[in-house]
Amino acid sequence: MNVAYNILRVALLQISKFALGVGCFLACCVLYSQEVVSSDFDQQLKVAQNVKPRSYQDIDALFSAFKRDSLNMQRLNTKAKALNYPEAQSYALNALGVLSRNSSLYEPALQFHKEGEKLAKEANNTELYIINLNNIGVVYRRMDLVKPALDFHTKALDIARSVANPSEEIKYNIAVSQNSIGNIYLVLEQYELAMRQFKKSIDIEKELGNRLGLAINYQNIGFAYEAQGDFENALRNYKRSLDYNNQINSEIGRVICYNSIGHVYIKQEQYEDAKVIIEEALNKAKQVGDQFYIASSYINLGWTQRHLKQYKRSESNLLKGLHIAETYKLKSSTVQAKQQLSELYEVTNRPSEALVLYRDAIALEKTISNDRNLRYVNDVIIQYENEAKNEQIQALADENELVRSRLERNKKVFWYSMLALFVIGAVLVALYRNRQLEQEKQILTLEQDMLRSQMNPHFIFNSLNSIKLYIINNEKENAVYYLNKFSKLIRKILVASTEKEISLEDELDTMKLYMNIENIRFSNEIDFQVHIDDAINPASIKVPSMILQPFLENALWHGLSSKKEDDKKIELTVFQNSDDHVTIAIEDNGIGRDASAKIKERKLLKRKSVGISLTKARLANFSKDYTVPYKIHIKDLYNDANQASGTRVLVDIPTRSNVLKTA
Q: Is 621 exposed, middle or buried (0-12, 13-18, 19+ CB in 10 A)?
A: middle
The predicted pLDDT at position 25 comes to 35
Q: Which range, of 115-124, 453-462, 483-492, 568-577, averages the lowest pLDDT?
A: 453-462
**Average pLDDT estimate for 109-124:** 91
The predicted pLDDT at position 524 comes to 84
**Average pLDDT estimate for 128-153:** 85
In terms of average pLDDT, the best of 177-181, 272-276, 403-407, 434-438 is 272-276
Q: Which range, of 464-478, 511-525, 590-604, 629-643, averages the lowest pLDDT?
A: 590-604
**What DSSP element (H or E) covers 543?**
strand 542-544
Whether residue 187 has pLDDT greater than 80: no
The predicted pLDDT at position 18 comes to 35
**Average pLDDT estimate for 605-611:** 51
CB atoms under 10 Å from CB of 196, counted, come to 14
DSSP state of 528: E
Parallel/antiparallel/unpaired status of strands 526-532 and 568-578: parallel
**Average pLDDT estimate for 417-421:** 82
Rounded CA gap, 601 and 597, in Å?
6
Single-letter amino acid, residue 642: N
pLDDT > 70: what percent of the chain?
A: 82
pLDDT > 90: what percent of the chain?
A: 29
Parallel/antiparallel/unpaired status of strands 581-588 and 631-638: unpaired
CB atoms under 10 Å from CB of 478, counted, come to 17
The predicted pLDDT at position 28 comes to 39
Q: Helix axis angle, 271-288 relative to 251-267, nearest 10°?
A: 160
Q: Which range, of 118-127, 153-162, 259-268, 454-463, averages the lowest pLDDT?
A: 454-463
At 88 the three-state DSSP class reads helix
Q: Where are the alpha helices (DSSP H) in 52-85?
A: 56-63, 70-82
Whether residue 610 has pLDDT greater than 90: no
Place 35 in a pLDDT band, splitting at 50, 70 and 90: very low
Dihedral (C-alpha) 343, 345, 348, 351: value to the nearest 10 degrees? -110
The predicted pLDDT at position 234 comes to 93
CB atoms under 10 Å from CB of 517, counted, come to 23
Rounded CA gap, 503 and 325, in Å?
47
Find residue 329's DSSP bridge partners: none
Whether residue 575 has pLDDT greater than 90: yes
**Average pLDDT estimate for 16-23:** 36
The predicted pLDDT at position 315 comes to 92
Residues with Cβ < 8 Å from 219, sequence gap 6 or more? 237, 238, 241, 253, 256, 257, 260
Rounded CA gap, 58 and 537, in Å?
59
Whether residue 12 has pLDDT greater than 70: no
**Average pLDDT estimate for 267-294:** 91
User: In 3D, which of 587, 586, 516, 502 has the Cα closest to residue 546?
Assistant: 502
Rounded CA gap, 34 and 72, in Å?
12
What stretches of 312-359 adopt beta strand conformation (E)?
none
The predicted pLDDT at position 618 comes to 80
The predicted pLDDT at position 48 comes to 86
Within 13 A of 383's CA, how many CA atoms are on the CB side? 10
Whether residue 280 has pLDDT greater than 90: yes
User: Mean pLDDT of all residues in the chain?
Assistant: 81
User: In 3D, which of 220, 238, 228, 337 has the Cα closest to residue 281?
Assistant: 238
The predicted pLDDT at position 313 comes to 93
Q: What phi and psi values does residue 453 have, to the nearest 5 degrees?
A: -65, -40
The predicted pLDDT at position 382 comes to 59
What is the per-residue pLDDT across 540-549, written as a single tens digit (0 to 9) for each?
Answer: 999 988 888 8
The predicted pLDDT at position 38 comes to 55
What is the per-residue pLDDT across 189-213, written as a single tens digit (0 to 9) for each?
Answer: 788 888 888 888 888 888 888 898 8
The predicted pLDDT at position 558 comes to 83
**What DSSP element (H or E) covers 572?**
strand 568-578
At 605 the three-state DSSP class reads coil
Q: By the 8 A CB rule, do 653 and 646 touch?
A: no
Q: Which range, of 224-228, 342-346, 399-403, 638-642, averages the lowest pLDDT?
A: 399-403
Q: Where are the alpha helices (DSSP H) in 519-556?
A: 549-554
